[in-house]
Amino acid sequence: MNYIYFDNAATTKLDDKVLEEMLPYLKENYGNASAIYKLGKASHIKVEEARERIANIFNAKKDEIYFTAGASESDNLAIKGIAYANKSKGKHIITSKIEHPAVLETCKELEKEGYEVTYLNVDSNGLVSTDELKKEIREDTILITIMYANNEIGTIEPIKEIGAIAKENNIIFHTDATQAVGTIKIDVEDLNIDSMSLSAHKFYGPKGIGALYMRKGVRFNPIINGGHQEKGKRAGTLNTPGIIGMAKALELSYEDLEEKNKKIKELRDYYFEKVKEKIPYIKINGDLEKRLVGNANISFRFIEGEGLLLNLDNKGICASSGSACTSGSLDPSHVLLAIGLPHEIAHGSLRISIGKYNTKEEVDYLIENLVEIVERLRNMSPLYEDFIKEEK
């Protein structure tokens, strides 16, 4: 089957140019980067070169980049690592209600260990209030962790303002930038970011490799113990092909960034326009301006998201939903509930995430099928039936 892929916020297709750079390190150059002989040294050189390439993109220093297995590990390492190493200063952390589970669940674990966590509210567009943040800062606040951009609704948080507030109060600032890296230019100095998580497979790189930027001087403990790799902060043999692939993918992402973003945004706005024109009773979720270019999250009233996804899948279309049925729990997405959507409207959400390989023809195909599927599911919905009767 030919897939029409609109789930680029979940993962992306590996870029052929990235694979090309990785291949020699999956085949003949298999040496352990920590080994002393020439075969290992060759890997070591490439890994350190990649570290520098990655640091340069974010205006960071080479020795501020730590390699991990992905953003979930980076979030765990940053939050737990900072919390453990700084507990003599305090045990209070501030985060938001719409973070990725890798942040939320890590914070919940720390609460069990005696840390206190404040979960900031967001407004109906998913934006954190910097005034509320200022009010929640305490003497014992050691860490602020707020995502750069939300994975479900695409809202971009006021990172620069948050960074300034953190700096002013001498609090460490971590951001989960998983969704932002590759589509937004990030300068850690300008934004006062002390710690930042990223994952290669979100920007056309390989899966299973990520990084944590950690500003020099920030104290943090390792969470994976073992060998001396990554200055003792992250044990485990370095993923040489992954690291090389991540560096390449990152560089490619920031080449012609504005041009690519413009094209993606045009497709996204076209999708919004067409859906608004052709399908009644919808709600666009998230901020329309402060938004990732590829993200389109829409709630279709009176229908449930899983039914929508399954029918799209029958047409070869890959997308995502915040319904309970797809989250594997009984509640719909915590993000959609946090922006104030009632349960039944949150259940009917559809997230389309557009990437660099998508075309206008694909968006047209999606809309054509969506119109038909939404109509069919609504005709099957007792909620729609009641609504129409009330309208009459």
Partner 1 sequence: MDYSDKVIDHYTNPRNVGEIENASGIGTVGNPVCGDIMKIYLKIENGVITDVKFKTFGCGAAIASSSISTELIKGQTVEKALELKNGDVVEQLDGLPPVKMHCSLLAEQAIHEAIADYYRKEGKLTEEEIIEKCKLKNNHNACPHQIDSL
Own/partner pairs for 63-66, CB < 8 Å, 24+ apart? 63/216, 63/231, 64/213, 64/214, 64/215, 64/216, 65/211, 65/212, 65/213, 66/211, 66/212, 66/213, 66/214, 66/230, 66/231, 66/233, 66/234
Does position 323 bind partner 1 by CB under 8 A? yes
**Least gap, CB of 315 to partner 1 (angstroms):** 11
Does position 299 bind partner 1 by CB under 8 A? no
How far does the chain reach from its first CA to its final CA, in angstroms? 44
Question: In this chain, which of 277, 314, 316, 368 binds partner 1, going by CB under 8 A?
Answer: 314
Does position 36 bind partner 1 by CB under 8 A? no
Query: Per residue in 132-165, is it b (16+ CB within 10 Å) or e — as a string?
Result: ebeeebeeebbbbbbbbbbbbbbbbbbbeebbeb
**Least gap, CB of 385 to partner 1 (angstroms):** 6
* Largest distance between two CA atoms of the chain: 81
Does position 325 bind partner 1 by CB under 8 A? yes
Residue 258 burial (10 A CB sphere; 0-12, 13-18, 19+)? exposed
Question: In this chain, which of 343, 360, 364, 388 binds partner 1, going by CB under 8 A?
Answer: 343
Does position 388 bind partner 1 by CB under 8 A? no
For partner 1, the closer of residues 22 and 303 by Cβ is: 303
**Least gap, CB of 157 to partner 1 (angstroms):** 29
Question: In this chain, which of 72, 253, 299, 311 binds partner 1, going by CB under 8 A?
Answer: 311
Residue 107 annotated in active site? no
Does position 381 bind partner 1 by CB under 8 A? yes
Question: In this chain, which of 112, 139, 330, 361 binds partner 1, going by CB under 8 A?
Answer: 330
What H or E segment, with its residue span, contains residue 142?
strand 141-145
Total residues at interface with partner 1 (CB under 8 A): 26
For partner 1, the closer of residues 113 and 313 by Cβ is: 313
3-state SS of 163-176 is HHHHHHCCCEEEEE
Question: In this chain, which of 302, 312, 317, 354 binds partner 1, going by CB under 8 A?
Answer: 302
Question: In this chain, which of 212, 304, 320, 353 binds partner 1, going by CB under 8 A?
Answer: 304
Does position 8 bind partner 1 by CB under 8 A? no
Spot the catalytic one: 69, 184, 284, 325: 325
Binding part of the chain for partner 1, among 12-20, 183-191, 215-223, 339-347 by CB under 8 A, reads 339-347
Backbone φ/ψ region at 365: left (φ over 0), alpha (ψ -120 to 50), beta: alpha
Binding part of the chain for partner 1, among 100-108, 166-174, 237-245, 342-350 by CB under 8 A, reads 342-350
Helical residues (DSSP H) of 294-359, grouped into ranges: 305-314, 324-327, 334-338, 343-346
**Least gap, CB of 380 to partner 1 (angstroms):** 5
DSSP string over 206-259: -TT-EEEEE-TT-----SS-SSSTGGGTS-S---HHHHHHHHHHHHHHTTTHHH
**Least gap, CB of 321 to partner 1 (angstroms):** 10
3-state secondary structure of 149: strand
Question: In this chain, which of 49, 52, 306, 362 binds partner 1, going by CB under 8 A?
Answer: 306
Residues with a catalytic annotation lie at: 325
Contact residues for partner 1 (CB under 8 A)?
302-304, 306-307, 310-311, 314, 323-326, 328, 330, 332, 342-344, 347, 379-385
